[in-house]
Amino acid sequence: MIRSRWVHLMGVLAVYCLLSFSTPQVSAQISKNKIKNSTWQGYYETKGGNRMNCKVVLNGSSGTYHTSDGSGRLRNVEYNFDNDPSNGDWFVRISADWYLTQNWGGKYGGEVSWTTSSDNYKNLSGDYDINGNRGGAWNCRLQSFNGGNDDFDLGGGGGGMDKCVDYSDWKYNERKCYYYRTCQFPGGGYQYVIYYPDTDPEWVFWYNPKSEKYWCSCPTVKHPKYGKKVRNGHEYFHRCSQPAREIEDCEWEDEITTSCTAKNDRGESIDLAGLPTDLP
């Protein structure tokens, strides 16, 4: 009887240990598959220490990056899982080769390495080199999983805030003589960013096609006060306290903020970060 109870106890302990030590492996593998198809948004630092907005899209062993200073591709992307011995949390080490799709009079490329934070892999940080010489740092935050993998727990109850918007290239409205680009929202919906080079070169204006009103503006690289910081990757938003159909009829808030959100078609708050700094 004693031996039978001992065998039973050992069996229970074996099952408990198996579950305890195998579960993180399974969880890590699921997360790894999702991270291999994910989008990140944040900034990178140039060799001179200036910050540039950036978006990184991982697609398995390849990927792309889009910055306010240029766009490029990632090759030979590798993912390695490890766990923090202090708390057992899993994190991912990511390495890749990068190169510019534009050739600006020379060959630009190198290696980049990132490490995710262990708090649900929300943050990505690391550095890169340029042709073998150290370039600068990268810091991004997880925005979405590509291919509809939105069931991963990002933590913090961010909802739509953890999705990134997509800005189109500039187009020209010949009839009204202004440039515009579309800001497409995840979850449905879009707005226009409009630039009037002849009358307001220091600002771009947000226009909501549903309300048919201007409701916010952002300083451009030509702004006398904010232009240099905008060029270095900083973002500023000046909201309207009273939106209007014409810019001259808008009433503006006293303070300029460094972040701004808008609602998508599902009523979720969407972060408008990542507005490109290039002008037509």
Q: Which of 61, 71, 66, 3 is nearest to 35 (CA)?
A: 61
Residues 101 and 53 in one domain: yes
Q: Which of 151, 146, 124, 62 is nearest to 99 (CA)?
A: 62
Which of 156, 175, 201 terminates a domain? The answer is: 156
175 pLDDT band, cuts 50/70/90, is very high
Q: Judge whether 18 lies within some domain.
A: no
Q: How many structural domains does the chain have?
A: 2
119 pLDDT band, cuts 50/70/90, is low
Task: Answer whether 53's CB lies under 8 Å from 274's CB.
Answer: yes
Q: Kindly state the average pLDDT of the residues 108-117.
A: 83
Which of 120, 135, 156 terminates a domain? The answer is: 156
Residues 105 and 146 in one domain: yes
Whether residue 118 is predicted with pLDDT greater than 70 in this model: the reply is no
Residues 113 and 209 in one domain: no
Q: Report pLDDT digits (tens) over 19-66.
A: 333 333 434 444 667 788 888 888 888 777 777 778 888 888 888 887
Q: Report pLDDT digits (tens) over 210-226.
A: 999 999 999 999 999 99
**If you average pLDDT over every residue of the chain, what do you get?**
77
Whether residue 130 is predicted with pLDDT greater than 70 in this model: the reply is yes
**Type of residue numbered 72:** G
Which range among 171-180, 181-190, 260-269 has the greatest average pLDDT?
171-180
End-to-end CA distance of the chain: 85
Q: Kindly state the average pLDDT of the residues 227-251.
A: 90
Whether residue 187 is predicted with pLDDT greater than 60 in this model: the reply is yes
Q: Judge whether 1 lies within some domain.
A: no
Which of 122, 156, 190 terminates a domain? The answer is: 156
Return d(Cα 152, Cα 117) in angstroms, integer.
15
**Type of residue numbered 113:** S
Return d(Cα 130, Cα 24) in angstroms, integer.
36
Return d(Cα 210, Cα 216) in angstroms, integer.
15
Q: Which of 41, 29, 68 is nearest to 123 (CA)?
A: 41
DSSP strands (E only) in 62-122: 62-67, 70-83, 90-100, 109-116
Q: Kindly state the average pLDDT of the residues 232-251.
A: 91
Residues 102 and 123 in one domain: yes
What's the burial of 71, exposed, middle or buried (CB within 10 Å: 0-12/13-18/19+)? middle
- Give the Cα-Cα-Cα angle 271, 135, 75 (nearest 5 degrees): 75
What's the burial of 242, exposed, middle or buried (CB within 10 Å: 0-12/13-18/19+)? exposed
**pLDDT at position 68, please?**
66
**pLDDT at position 233, please?**
65
Which tops the pLDDT comparison, 126 or 217?
217
179 pLDDT band, cuts 50/70/90, is very high
**pLDDT at position 152, please?**
32
Return d(Cα 218, Cα 55) in angstroms, integer.
19
